[in-house]
Amino acid sequence: MQHLHLFLPCAAGVESYLADEASRITHLPASQVHAHRAGVSLEATWRDVMALNLQSRLAQRVLVRLAVDRYRDEHDIYHLAHGVAWEIWFTPRQTIKVELTSQHSPLKSLNFAALRIKDAICDRLRDKRGERPSVDTTRPDVRVFAHLTQDEATLYIDTSGEPLFKRGWRVDKGDAPLKETLAAAMLAATGWTGWDDHHEPVPLYDPCCGSGTVPIEAALMALNVAPGKHRRFGFEKLLPFQPHVWQALRQQAESAERPWPAGQPFVFASDVAFRMVDFARRNAERAGVAHAIEFRGGDALQRMPPASRPGVLLLNPPYGERIAAAGLAGQSAQVRVRPAQGRESAVHPDGQENTAFFAELATHWKKHYPGWTAWLLTPDLKLPGKMRFKESRRVPLWNGPIECRLFRFDLLPLRQRSDDGADAT
């Protein structure tokens, strides 16, 4: 199976990072990996499909394109789907699900279009194999994806199964966990790899770690642990699957893991809610990186730098009323709200609770974190103003449907501040 047309969907804003990553995993030159809106396309082999599923930290799925053509109505879509050799991918004994997305499609009912694709697949398998597969919308063996534009229909077979952000280690979720793929995109944007040019570890600290997504993703990355190590994939149920090739790929990935410098955590995580710290620790254990992360409880407004060497602060801080700042900033708020999940949070009647938190966080960091670089993901475009910081970078990223910015603030070393007579941030 040479030259499969692959499409790897990703969150908007992540395309260029994913294109770099896909080129690294497949060893294809960058010129052969194409970034589109919300995805990347490339021509690659079946082995690459497995490698991308196992190794990609940024893709949502790995889809193989099986047909593309212009269409006017559901009839054309049925014919397009009927022309695909589904019988080389799966048998009628396997269950299927068709998922359809569209952009400016003139069709009245997308459900009906999806139904026609399902009918075409079933009819084709009955003609070729004498039986029709059944549909299972919750745990299908095989997922087919269709995308309709105004006049073009594309059909894909999915090779991932569960979306790739599900790494297989998360059981404890917390209130507003980031998707693992978004945490990986944040890390990609910072350029942090865990190591400097002299192969010395560079500290990374998330002081509002919640369920631990950022530190766990960071530790997996620094140790070169394949993000798909702990999960199964859709391709394992498809007919072209070759278990021996897959086993070899997994073994290769395991032998490329980087040993941890004993007794030297350089990924750090804390949260004001001890319950969340417990969640995060348990998640890290299941991900196999608990030994590499130092977890603590505590208020971000009080926590001192966890490492002697300046590093990177990376977090999605509390926002809005649902995930309001707790701890010191919460106590100073005027109205207490019902504790959510055993954690105290608070809002001012004017909704300004987080303003106080961010002003205090900025003061704390300026005083105690000279030389660190802070990266904050937030939907609040006014965050730099609230911190009285000037960002040195702003990277647009989407947290599901929420448009966010990843702001970078450089906390100047003390020496530089006194030389300049002012904070640069």
Ligand X SMILES: C[S@@+](CC[C@H](N)C(=O)[O-])C[C@H]1O[C@@H](n2cnc3c(N)ncnc32)[C@H](O)[C@@H]1O
DSSP labels, 171-215: ----SSPPPHHHHHHHHHHHT--SB-TTS-B--EEETT-TTSHHH
Part in contact with ligand X (CB under 6 A); list of ranges 164-172, 173-181, 221-229, 365-373: 173-181
Least distance to ligand X from the beta carbon of 399, Å? 9
Interface with ligand X, residue 53, by CB under 6 A: no
Interaction with ligand X in 178-197: which residues (CB under 6 A)?
178
Least distance to ligand X from the beta carbon of 57, Å? 15
State which residue, 6 or 280, has the beta carbon closest to ligand X: 280
Least distance to ligand X from the beta carbon of 273, Å? 4
Task: Give the separation between CA 404 and CA 112, rounded to whole angstroms.
Answer: 35
Interface with ligand X, residue 174, by CB under 6 A: yes
* Residue 135 in tokens: 């549909």
Residue 122 CA neighbour count, 13 Å, CB half: 14
State which residue, 41 or 355, has the beta carbon closest to ligand X: 355
Least distance to ligand X from the beta carbon of 310, Å? 20
Interaction with ligand X in 297-326: which residues (CB under 6 A)?
299-301, 316-318, 323, 325-326
Task: Residue count of the chain, please give it.
Answer: 425
Kindly tell me the number of DSSP H helices and DSSP E strands found in the chain.
12, 16
Query: With left for phi above 0 and alpha for psi between -120 and 50, is residue 198 left, alpha or beta?
Result: alpha
Least distance to ligand X from the beta carbon of 48, Å? 30
Interaction with ligand X in 320-359: which residues (CB under 6 A)?
323, 325-327, 329, 343
Torsional sign, CA 347, 349, 354, 358:
negative
Least distance to ligand X from the beta carbon of 343, Å? 6
State which residue, 39 or 215, has the beta carbon closest to ligand X: 215
Least distance to ligand X from the beta carbon of 146, Å? 32
Contact 418, 424 (CB under 8 A): no
- With CB under 6 A as the contact rule, the residue among 38, 67, 135, 176 that binds ligand X is 176
Q: Which positions ≥6 away from 137 have C-beta within 8 Å?
A: 97
- With CB under 6 A as the contact rule, the residue among 13, 92, 133, 177 that binds ligand X is 177
State which residue, 176 or 202, has the beta carbon closest to ligand X: 176
Q: Pick from 131, 76, 62: which is nearest to 107 by CA?
A: 76
Least distance to ligand X from the beta carbon of 276, Å? 5
Part in contact with ligand X (CB under 6 A); list of ranges 54-62, 90-98, 175-183, 231-239: 175-183
State which residue, 227 or 318, has the beta carbon closest to ligand X: 318
Least distance to ligand X from the beta carbon of 329, Å? 6
State which residue, 4 or 326, has the beta carbon closest to ligand X: 326
Count of residues of this chain found to bind ligand X when the rule CB under 6 A is applied: 26
The two beta strands, 267-271 and 204-206, are parallel
Q: Pick from 52, 260, 382, 326: which is nearest to 336 by CA?
A: 326
Interface with ligand X, residue 208, by CB under 6 A: yes
Residue nearest to ligand X (CB): 210
Least distance to ligand X from the beta carbon of 323, Å? 5
Least distance to ligand X from the beta carbon of 280, Å? 7
| Biggest CA-to-CA distance, the chain | 81
State which residue, 113 or 346, has the beta carbon closest to ligand X: 346
Query: With left for phi above 0 and alpha for psi between -120 and 50, is residue 206 left, alpha or beta?
Result: beta
Rg (CA), the chain: 24
Write the secondary structure of 318-375 as one string of H (helix), E (strand) and C (coil).
CECCCECCCCHHHHCCCEECCCECCECCEECCCCCHHHHHHHHHHHHHHHHCCCCEEE
Interaction with ligand X in 257-276: which residues (CB under 6 A)?
271-273, 276
Part in contact with ligand X (CB under 6 A); list of ranges 118-126, 136-144, 211-219, 378-386: 211-219
Interface with ligand X, residue 378, by CB under 6 A: no
Which spans in 1-150 are helix H?
A: 15-26, 46-55, 74-82, 110-129
State which residue, 294 or 299, has the beta carbon closest to ligand X: 299
| Site for ligand X, rule CB under 6 A | 174, 176-178, 207-208, 210-211, 213-214, 271-273, 276, 299-301, 316-318, 323, 325-327, 329, 343
